[in-house]
């Protein structure tokens, strides 16, 4: 058994569902789950209702986050088919630009390559562009970013072919970083018959060979990120279940299990959940902020312990060897191992 103290984690990819999806998650519930998972900063995606694609929506979302968040929150702007000419007005309040090139949950897919090029070209050179681009769309987007010298951050890598495209772009000297989720790192298509709709996400969970390729090329992965995308149990059991999985509370226990099993150095975990995210997104590390964890003793993840409003995890029943004992944010205990002590509104909205 080992007790370790880690810096507060940064999750660069979450969907906290406000506004418009409060039955799935809120800033108060999602950031409670984050703190219970040792995460003290989250970067929230723009595919809400209404989407965060203009100054009015951005200001309204900042107010919601300021009132509800228990940990620190940054907000993405979303690219749309008709906002490219005005995005520069609102970049000051954004941690980055999110472009949905592939189809996923929400209304923000941009499929017109002329519009995509205009977004890449006009986005500030010192801010990352986060892309959801699967399969053959990915290398084309990487070339587009390279053409204009923009920093492209690839969300949720899932396929071995995507790893190859990222490796090639990095070899060319392109400004490219990427992330992988715990569910793409630890699950495969072999798990889908048992998980059913509770394993459905975008990108889809891929083959065991794709999962093995990610592990084999882990040196190319810059960040671990949850893509926390909660939906209710009722929605998942419905006739048209929406894609997405929760993950804020389970990421660190799962990654610490990989550390315990010798698959991941603890330094690699810290780099991909703290130092690299801070560098890529220009985030200052929080003062007097840390996470106390226990590594070694095994226990089983359950639905009941999840603080996300959706109340479930695709990893229920999995034995893990990492536990978050305490999360301290700016000198105050925010999670004591049993209860979230941080109040709604105690987090900060970045930048």
221 burial class (0-12, 13-18, 19+ CB within 10 angstroms)? buried
Predicted local distance difference test score (pLDDT) of residue 106: 72
User: What is the torsion angle, in degrees rounded to the nearest 10, for the CA atoms of residue 328, residue 330, residue 332 and residue 335?
Assistant: -30
Predicted local distance difference test score (pLDDT) of residue 127: 95
- Whole-prediction pTM: 0.97
Number of H helices, E strands in the chain: 12, 14
Predicted local distance difference test score (pLDDT) of residue 104: 79
- Name the token pair of 305: 């312990």
Instruction: Please tell me the total count of domains within the chain.
Output: 1
**What CA–CA distance (Å, rounded) separates 65 from 16?**
10
The SS3 assignment for 129 reads: strand
Straight-line distance from the first to the last Cα atom of the chain, in angstroms, rounded to the nearest whole number: 38
- HSE-up (13 A, CA, CB side) for residue 339: 2
Predicted local distance difference test score (pLDDT) of residue 294: 98
Range of the domain at 82: 2-350
User: What is the torsion angle, in degrees rounded to the nearest 10, for the CA atoms of residue 282, residue 285, residue 221 and residue 112?
Assistant: -30
Predicted local distance difference test score (pLDDT) of residue 1: 67
Q: Are strands 319-329 and 332-335 parallel, antiparallel or unpaired?
A: antiparallel
pLDDT in tens, the chain (351 residues): 699 999 999 999 999 999 999 999 999 999 999 999 999 999 999 999 999 999 999 999 999 999 999 999 999 999 999 999 999 899 999 999 999 999 877 789 999 999 999 999 999 999 999 999 999 999 999 999 999 999 999 999 999 999 999 999 999 999 999 999 999 999 999 999 999 999 999 999 999 999 999 999 999 999 999 999 999 999 999 999 999 999 999 999 999 999 999 999 999 999 999 999 999 999 999 999 999 999 999 999 999 999 999 999 999 999 999 999 999 999 999 999 999 999 999 999 998
- Name the token pair of 249: 């509370």
CATH number at residue 127: 3.20.20.140
Q: Are strands 9-14 and 290-300 parallel, antiparallel or unpaired?
A: unpaired
Chain centre distance of CA 291: 19
């Amino acid at each position: 058994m080992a007790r370790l103290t880690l810096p507060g984690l940064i999750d660069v990819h979450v969907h906290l569902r406000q506004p418009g999806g409060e039955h799935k998650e809120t800033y108060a519930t999602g950031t409670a789950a984050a703190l219970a998972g040792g995460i003290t900063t989250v970067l929230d995606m723009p595919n809400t209702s209404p989407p965060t694609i203009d100054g009015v929506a951005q200001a309204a979302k900042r107010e919601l986050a300021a009132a509800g968040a228990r940990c620190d929150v940054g907000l993405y702007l979303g690219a749309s088919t008709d906002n490219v000419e005005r995005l520069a007005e609102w970049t000051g309040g954004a941690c980055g630009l999110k472009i949905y090139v592939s189809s996923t949950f929400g209304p923000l897919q941009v499929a017109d390559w002329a519009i995509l090029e205009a977004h890449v070209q006009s986005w500030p050179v010192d801010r990352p562009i986060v892309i959801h681009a699967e399969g053959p769309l990915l290398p084309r987007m990487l070339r587009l970013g390279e053409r204009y010298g923009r920093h492209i951050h690839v969300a949720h890598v899932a396929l071995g072919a995507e790893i190859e495209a990222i490796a090639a772009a990095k070899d060319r000297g392109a400004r490219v970083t990427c992330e992988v989720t715990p569910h793409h790192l630890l699950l495969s298509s072999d798990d889908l018959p048992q998980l059913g709709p509770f394993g459905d996400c975008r990108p889809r969970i891929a083959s065991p060979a794709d999962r093995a390729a990610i592990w084999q090329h882990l040196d190319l992965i810059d960040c671990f990120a949850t893509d926390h995308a909660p939906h209710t149990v009722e929605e998942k059991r419905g006739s048209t279940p929406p894609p997405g999985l929760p993950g804020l509370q389970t990421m660190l226990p799962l990654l610490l299990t990989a550390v315990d099993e010798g698959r991941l150095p603890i330094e690699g975990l810290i780099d991909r959940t703290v130092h690299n995210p801070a560098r890529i997104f220009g985030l200052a590390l929080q003062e007097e902020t840390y996470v106390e964890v226990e590594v070694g003793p095994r226990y089983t993840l359950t639905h009941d312990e999840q603080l996300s409003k959706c109340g479930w995890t695709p990893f229920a029943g999995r034995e893990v060897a990492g536990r978050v004992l305490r999360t301290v944010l700016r000198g105050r205990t925010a999670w004591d191992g049993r209860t979230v002590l941080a109040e709604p509104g105690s987090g900060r909205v970045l930048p």
